[in-house]
Amino acid sequence: MLKPKKLAKKNFLSSFDMSTEEIEYIFEVSKNFKEKKLNFEFTNKVLGLIFDKSSTRTRVSFQVAMSRLGGTTIDLNPTTSQIGRGEPIKDTARVLSRYCDVLAIRTFNHADLEEYAKWSTKPVINALTDLEHPCQALADFLTIKEEFNDFKNVVLTFVGDGNNVANSLILCGALLGVEVRIACPKGYEPNEKVISKAREICKKKNLLQITHDPTTAVIGANVLYTDVWSSMGEEKQKEEKDKEFDGFTIDDNLIKKSNPDAIVLHCLPAYRSKEISDQVFESEKSRIFEQAENRMHAQQALLSCLLS
Ligand code: CP
Ligand code: NVA
* CATH value at residue 70: 3.40.50.1370
Tell whether 159 and 195 lie within a shared domain. yes
285, exposed or middle or buried, with CB in 10 Å at 0-12, 13-18, 19+? middle
Evaluate whether residue 2 is within a structural domain: no
Q: Are 104 and 62 in contact (CB under 8 A)?
A: yes
Do 287 and 300 reside in the same domain of the chain? Answer: no
Predicted pLDDT at 205:
81
Question: Which ligand does the CA of 158 lie closest to?
Answer: 2
Nearest CA to 122 out of 301, 304, 307 is that of: 307
CA 79 to ligand 1 center in whole angstroms: 20
Atom 7 of ligand 1, residue of closest alpha carbon: 56
* 121 and 170 housed in the same domain: no
167 and 58 co-located in one domain: no
The answer to whether residues 99 and 159 belong to one domain is no
Find the domain containing 146 and state its range.
137-291
| Arithmetic mean of pLDDT, 173-199 | 97
Q: Is residue 108 part of a domain?
A: yes
Separation of CA 291 and ligand 1 centre (Å): 11
pTM of the model: 0.98
- Is 98 tagged catalytic? no
106 in active site: yes
* Number of domains making up the chain: 2
**CA 114 → CA 21, 87, 92, 99, 230, distances in Å?**
24, 16, 13, 19, 24
Residues 141 and 286 grouped into a single domain: yes
Using CA atoms, how far apart are residues 57 and 83, in angstroms rounded to an integer? 23
Whether 1 has a pLDDT exceeding 80, the answer reads: no
> Can you tell me the mean pLDDT for 219-236?
98
Is it the case that residue 263 has pLDDT exceeding 90?
A: yes
Per-residue pLDDT band for 58 (boundaries 50, 70, 90) equals very high
Calpha distance 250→257 (Å, rounded):
11
| 154 bridge partner residues | none
Q: Is 1 a domain residue?
A: no
Catalytic residue of the set 57, 59, 68, 106: 106
Sort 74 into a burial class: Cβ within 10 Å, 0-12 / 13-18 / 19+. Answer: middle
pLDDT in tens, 127-154: 999 999 999 999 999 999 999 999 999 9
Q: Are residues 141 and 273 in the same domain?
A: yes
**Domain match, 209 and 250 both:** yes
Which of 306, 255, 305, 298 is CA-nearest to residue 277?
255
Within this chain, do residues 58 and 77 fall inside the same structural domain, yes or no? yes
